[in-house]
Amino acid sequence: MTQMPRASLADRAAALLEERIRAGEWQVGERLPGETTLAPELGVGRSTVREAIRQLAGKGLVQSRQGSGVYVTALETQDELTEVLARADVIAVIEARIAIECEAASLAAARRSPEALAVIHQALNHRHPEIDELEAYVDADMEFHRAVVLAADNPVLLEMFDAFVPRLRGSMIEMLRMTVDFDTELDHERHQRVTERIAESDPEGAARVSRDHLEVLRREVWQ
């Protein structure tokens, strides 16, 4: 019987690093120690550290930038859809959002479960137009839209929506920072209209209002 070959040093180094990343030793976006630091720390040569890092890069956990360092990009391995999303431009993502959310709003209106409606209302109340911090505003916005998709009671649509969020968050914040005359009152009003249509069991109306809302977003970005 042949002995099971123990895993290579690079494999073990990769596993060790992955464990430390998942444990939260470095947050997403943070930089890992340099190769020359990690090598003696892990008790291996520099090229072995490099191969370990490449392995994690293949899994989508880290990303290296020449001259700068190796950065944590995610805590879980990313799938193909998020990979496509990372490359796609914002317009394409918004168009896909229109597809998902209009249908979701329509289905939500058709199904209209009282519990799901309560979640939507709750998310709507979190969306104060007065929120001054951009990040909090965008997060509250995403929470509302997710509640709508959740109300559609379709796991496929939800999975797709969740793939969008991390990609869009940054762009939305940046966009709002650029837009000087963004009317939060008007924005909030549009969300209220979506909620009303769903509450009234008006699928077509819900879809239409959702579309109008997101088309505004697309135009904002396009300029």
Partner DNA sequence: GCCTAACAACTCCTCAGACAAGTGCGAAAT
Partner DNA sequence: ATTTCGCACTTGTCTGAGGAGTTGTTAGGC
- Site of interaction with a copy of itself (CB under 8 A): 5, 8, 10, 14, 47, 50-52, 54-59, 64-66, 77, 79-81, 84-85, 87-88, 92-93, 95-96, 98-100, 102-104, 107, 152, 154-157, 159-160, 163
Question: Strand, helix or coil at 132?
Answer: coil
Beta bridge partners of 70: 64
Amino acid at 5: P
CB 55 → DNA: shortest distance, Å? Answer: 10
| Positive or negative: CA dihedral 65, 69, 71, 77 | positive
- 17, 18, 21, 44: which one binds DNA (CB under 7 A): 44
- 15, 50, 131, 188: which one binds DNA (CB under 7 A): 50
User: What residues between 54 and 93 interact with DNA by CB under 7 A?
Assistant: 64-70
Residue 62 CA to residue 60 CA, distance in Å, equals: 6
Using the minimum distance from each CB to a copy of itself, give the nearer residue, 106 or 195: 106
**For the CA atoms of 76, 78, 81, 86, what is the dihedral angle to 10 degrees?**
110
Which of a copy of itself, DNA, none lies near 69, with the C-beta cut-off 5 to 8 A by kind?
A: DNA
Q: Are strands 69-72 and 62-65 parallel, antiparallel or unpaired?
A: antiparallel
CB 35 → DNA: shortest distance, Å? Answer: 4
223 binds DNA (CB under 7 A): no
CA distances from 148 to 6, 89, 172 (A): 50, 24, 19
Using the minimum distance from each CB to a copy of itself, give the nearer residue, 159 or 183: 159
**CA 220 distance to own-chain centroid:** 20
Using the minimum distance from each CB to a copy of itself, give the nearer residue, 158 or 173: 158
Token code pair at residue 196: 């009303």
CB 137 → DNA: shortest distance, Å? Answer: 28
Residue 78 CA to residue 61 CA, distance in Å, equals: 8
Using the minimum distance from each CB to a copy of itself, give the nearer residue, 77 or 122: 77
Residue 98 CA to residue 22 CA, distance in Å, equals: 34
Query: For binding to DNA (CB under 7 A), which residues are involved?
Result: 2, 5, 8-11, 32-37, 39, 43-48, 50-51, 53, 64-70
